[in-house]
């Protein structure tokens, strides 16, 4: 068990809200974002404008970060495809291409989220957050198409709306592993222990050992694990005595400060997805069409 003195100091520094992984705010409502600009008759994400592809990447990064401690995780991603009116091909084509666009964007997001959240550790194995998210796609054709008189306005109709559903923070169950094997040799302890092969070999002690602990957490599935479990197991793994040395106290101080700061920043960053909600732009709205009376000589 961790040293009672150290555990008490950790709890005092982190606070009950942090240790219990509870948030004082309610679960955020559903968020909506959209990517638009598909060329005519096209459903490929690779044909979207570069700025739209960048936004998709940013949205995938945001989803991954919501699954880290201190945030409300995204538990559902729904893509709704839209199409411009195509009188020549009809409504069945409009519905089909809107569905294909939705599936293409969903597949792209699912792949990016899996890739960005993939982590591997010789001790913890492989992990992604995809199993914790429900992905779905649908299309509505040109049902919500806005009046368009030029290509810029038609590009806005050829879009995919993305709906993100949030859930309450549910820390992952603690992994079955020996933290002493994962962190031994990283911080100063009573007896120097050689590092495992998957850590950078260092022949002499470093001043900022706590930075290495943070690095291990960031680069392994530990970044998605309940921080209460991580911090308390760390204390046990460090094998601190009842009366820690000044160096060991400094490690705990720096480590907890860094974790609290990351959690606070993450709560702010993940409040809303990047980008603006899909709101109509006045400049892209087509003016109402009017029937102009033809000259008398053309009415023949």
pLDDT digits (tens, 9 = 90+) for 88-134: 999 999 999 999 999 999 999 999 999 999 987 666 677 889 999 99
Domain boundaries along the sequence of the chain: 4-19+172-268, 31-170
- Alpha-carbon distances, residue 134 vs 57, 76, 291 (angstroms): 19, 5, 48
Task: Identify the pLDDT of residue 287.
Answer: 36
Task: Identify the pLDDT of residue 190.
Answer: 42
* Confidence band, pLDDT 50/70/90 cuts, at residue 300: very low
**CATH 3.30.1330.60 for domain 31-170:** yes
The CA-based angle 172-108-142, given to 5 degrees, is 120
pTM: 0.74
Spatial distance between the Cα atoms of 6 and 60, rounded to a whole number of angstroms: 38
| Model confidence at 19: pLDDT above 60 | no
* Confidence band, pLDDT 50/70/90 cuts, at residue 202: very low
| Model confidence at 203: pLDDT above 80 | no
| Helices 246-269/227-238 angle, 10° precision | 170
The mean pLDDT value for 267-274 works out to 90
13 or 260, greater pLDDT: 260
Average pLDDT across the chain, whole number:
76
């Amino acid at each position: 068990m961790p040293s009672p003195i150290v555990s008490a100091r950790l709890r005092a520094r982190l606070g009950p809200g942090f240790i219990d992984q509870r948030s004082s705010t309610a679960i955020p409502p559903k968020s909506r974002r959209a990517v638009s600009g598909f060329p005519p008759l096209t459903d490929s994400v690779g044909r979207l404008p570069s700025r739209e592809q960048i936004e998709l990447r940013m949205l995938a990064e945001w989803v991954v970060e919501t699954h880290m401690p201190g945030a409300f995780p995204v538990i559902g991603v729904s893509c709704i495809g839209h199409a411009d009116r195509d009188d020549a091909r009809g409504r069945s084509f409009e519905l089909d291409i809107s569905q294909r666009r939705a599936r293409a964007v969903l597949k792209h997001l699912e792949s990016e989220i899996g890739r960005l959240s993939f982590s591997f550790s010789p001790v913890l194995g492989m992990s992604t957050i995809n199993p914790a998210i429900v992905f779905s796609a649908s299309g509505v054709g040109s049902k919500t198409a806005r009046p368009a008189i030029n290509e810029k306005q038609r590009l806005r109709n050829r879009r995919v709306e993305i709906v993100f559903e949030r859930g309450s923070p549910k820390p992952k169950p603690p992994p079955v592993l020996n933290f002493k094997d994962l962190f031994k040799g990283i911080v100063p302890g009573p007896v120097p222990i050689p590092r495992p092969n998957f850590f950078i070999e260092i022949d002499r002690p470093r001043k900022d050992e706590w930075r290495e602990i943070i690095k291990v957490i960031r680069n392994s599935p530990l970044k998605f694990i309940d921080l209460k479990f991580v911090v308390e197991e760390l204390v046990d793994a460090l094998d601190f005595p009842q009366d820690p040395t000044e160096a060991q106290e400094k490690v705990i101080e720096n480590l907890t400060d860094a974790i609290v700061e990351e959690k606070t920043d993450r709560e702010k960053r993940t409040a809303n997805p990047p980008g603006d909600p899909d709101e109509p732009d006045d400049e892209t709205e087509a003016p109402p069409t009017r029937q102009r009376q033809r000259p008398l000589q053309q009415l023949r």
